[in-house]
Amino acid sequence: MSRIFFLVNALAFAVYGCSSVEGSRPSRDVSDSMLADEAASVIEQVLMEQPPKFRPESVAFTSEYVAYGKGVVSKSSGIGVPIGNSGISVSSGSSKSKYLADRIYFNSPFTVSIVPKGKWFVILMYNGEGYRTAKIYTTNKVKAERFDDALHSLQKNYVMQHPK
């Protein structure tokens, strides 16, 4: 009985998994690559059009990576001590700030999968070892595919400019 239950669940999982994931698309040929400015524009637009909960504070491009930030997080601590009844106090404090950002490096291998989820298309990025490194939301399948094309275009441009 437990074998049948296991087989039915395994089959259901396989069917559900195959039906819900569109998977990676073949990337563009190098000759069809987008210009860097166009690719950057596509990537920035998709990142900034995400729902507010997932939208980055900023997007920055270099020749080696694209970074999209979640803002600055600060930790503060302090202490204050009054001096008698004079209304004067002595205090000391410290603050540490850190800018939180994700980066997609063009010299690292990655794959992109586009998964439909309700009214959204979720762009899932995986590194060369198969670990998910990014999850990006868009309501438009064409924009999701152009995002994939733009990232691979910037990666191809990087590889062509930095041969091993």
* CATH numbers and ranges of domains, the chain: 23-161 (2.30.29)
Residue 106: name the closest of 58, 160, 143 by CA.
Answer: 160
pLDDT average per 10 residues of sequence, the chain (164 residues): 38 35 46 79 96 92 90 74 76 74 91 95 95 95 96 91 83
Element (H, E) at 18: helix 2-20
- Which amino acid does the sequence have at 127? N
For residue range 27-53, list pLDDT tens digits in order.
444 435 688 899 999 999 999 999 999
* Pairing label, strands 65-83, 88-105: antiparallel
Enter the pTM of the model: 0.68
Tokens found for residue 47: 């990142």
